[in-house]
């Protein structure tokens, strides 16, 4: 096992432990049992945990003098991501039957519990931040603002999702809000949790978020439903904006490669810059369908 793989495995373990602890703090025996079950179902087993991994990787690269703060930020971002998946899957939006290879939350628990599970996850995100930063409140306000901006109005995930309800939407803006905002929050929160100025870390997250969105569009256009654990071909079926619809498959792959290169070059000076660059290139390989990655390499 090489060094980068060990870092990867350590990140995964830390994230799952922190998520489990945070969920267990509210999904207690006193909670409504079906809501508690739906909340656990929405978070575990997870997807690739790309956003919290990115947050912790940046915090480590910046020295990570306060691991509890970085863990809390990573959990908050993952809870907000899960909340957006649960609400986006609702019948009034995508009416998605599958998510992460199992029935979506509203198919498994009903629409009412799916609405409430999303709400509870948003609250849990901020509660986890408050709990994790209780002994270091000076960093709490900064982390809260980074996280809240990435999910709320005027340009966070919720705003991005609302662009689908407007008469017309700009693809770049839509993707920046729907995906890029949470990736930018991941890199900025990782820096802020380690006591480092988050501003210079925004570009890294934005570029990776754009790259991830392009990869997601490629999965939707070319992927295999069984391997992905969710339906494919939805962008065309729902007439949603998509990089593949705008640029074609080859154009989308070229765009993705350009974005990852720009991301790696944007890493600000920090103690772990070299390792972070290596990790990012390795993680990017997870984004693409394997067959396309070989074509792109």
Using CB atoms within 10 A of its CB, is residue 265 exposed (0-12), middle (13-18) or buried (19+)? exposed
* Interface of this chain with a second copy, residues 78 to 97, rule: CB under 8 A: 83, 87, 90, 92-93
Tell whether residue 239 is a contact of a second copy (CB under 8 A): no
Residues 6 or more apart whose Cβ sits within 8 Å of residue 76: 125, 126, 128, 129, 143, 147, 189
Cα separation, 292 vs 257, whole angstroms: 12
Tell whether residue 181 is a contact of a second copy (CB under 8 A): no
Cα separation, 182 vs 9, whole angstroms: 22
Tell whether residue 297 is a contact of a second copy (CB under 8 A): no
Tell whether residue 33 is a contact of a second copy (CB under 8 A): yes
> Closer CB to a second copy, residue 159 or residue 191?
159
Per DSSP, the three-state class of 297 is coil
How many residues line the site for a second copy (CB under 8 A)?
Answer: 57
> Closer CB to a second copy, residue 120 or residue 214?
120
Tell whether residue 180 is a contact of a second copy (CB under 8 A): no
- Least separation in angstroms between residue 159's CB and a second copy is 5
Torsion of CA 163, 167, 170, 175, to 10 degrees: 20
Name the segment binding a second copy (CB under 8 A); options: 8-16, 138-146, 221-229, 278-286.
138-146
Residues 6 or more apart whose Cβ sits within 8 Å of residue 213: 175, 178, 179, 180, 243
Tokens of 157: 């995930």
Tell whether residue 126 is a contact of a second copy (CB under 8 A): yes
> Closer CB to a second copy, residue 50 or residue 116?
116
Tell whether residue 192 is a contact of a second copy (CB under 8 A): no
Cα separation, 215 vs 64, whole angstroms: 30
Tokens of 220: 């939707």
Tell whether residue 116 is a contact of a second copy (CB under 8 A): yes
Q: Which whole-number Å values give the CA distances from 217 to 136, 206, 210, in the listed order?
A: 40, 17, 11
Which of 15, 18, 59, 144 is close enough to bind a second copy by CB under 8 A? 144
Torsion of CA 9, 13, 19, 24, to 10 degrees: 160
Cα separation, 136 vs 170, whole angstroms: 40
> Closer CB to a second copy, residue 162 or residue 228?
162
* Interface of this chain with a second copy, residues 9 to 28, rule: CB under 8 A: 26-28
- Least separation in angstroms between residue 36's CB and a second copy is 7
- Least separation in angstroms between residue 229's CB and a second copy is 24
Tokens of 72: 């809390």
Tell whether residue 238 is a contact of a second copy (CB under 8 A): no
Using CB under 8 A as the criterion, which residues of the chain lie in contact with a second copy when the complex forms? 26-28, 30-36, 39, 83, 87, 90, 92-93, 110-113, 115-116, 118-120, 122-124, 126-127, 129-131, 133-134, 137-138, 140-141, 144-145, 148-149, 151-156, 158-159, 161-166
């Amino acid at each position: 096992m090489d060094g980068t793989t060990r870092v990867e495995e350590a990140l995964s373990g830390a994230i799952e432990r922190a998520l489990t602890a945070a969920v267990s703090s509210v999904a207690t025996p006193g909670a409504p049992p079906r809501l508690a079950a739906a909340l656990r179902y929405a978070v575990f087993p997870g997807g690739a945990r790309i956003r919290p991994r990115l947050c912790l990787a940046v915090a480590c690269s910046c020295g990570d003098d306060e691991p509890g703060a970085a863990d809390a930020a990573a959990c908050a971002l993952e809870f907000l991501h899960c909340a957006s998946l649960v609400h986006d899957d609702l019948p009034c939006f995508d009416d998605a039957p599958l998510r992460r290879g199992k029935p979506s939350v509203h198919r498994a628990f009903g629409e009412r519990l799916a609405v409430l599970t999303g709400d509870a996850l948003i609250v849990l995100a901020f509660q986890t931040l408050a709990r994790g930063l209780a002994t270091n409140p000076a960093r709490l306000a900064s982390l809260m603002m980074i996280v809240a901006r990435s999910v709320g109005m005027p340009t966070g995930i919720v705003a991005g999702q609302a662009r689908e309800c407007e008469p017309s939407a700009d693809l770049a803006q839509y993707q920046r809000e729907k995906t890029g905002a949470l990736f930018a929050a991941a890199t900025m929160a990782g820096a802020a949790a380690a006591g480092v100025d988050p501003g210079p870390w925004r570009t890294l997250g934005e570029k990776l978020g754009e790259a991830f969105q392009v990869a997601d569009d490629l999965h939707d256009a070319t992927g295999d439903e069984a391997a992905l654990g969710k339906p494919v071909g939805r962008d065309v079926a729902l007439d949603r904006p998509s990089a593949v619809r705008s640029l074609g498959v080859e154009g989308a792959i070229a765009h993705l490669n350009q974005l990852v290169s720009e991301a790696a070059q944007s890493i600000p000076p920090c103690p772990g810059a070299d390792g972070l660059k290596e990790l990012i290139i390795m993680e990017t390989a997870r984004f693409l369908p394997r067959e396309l990655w070989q074509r792109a390499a």
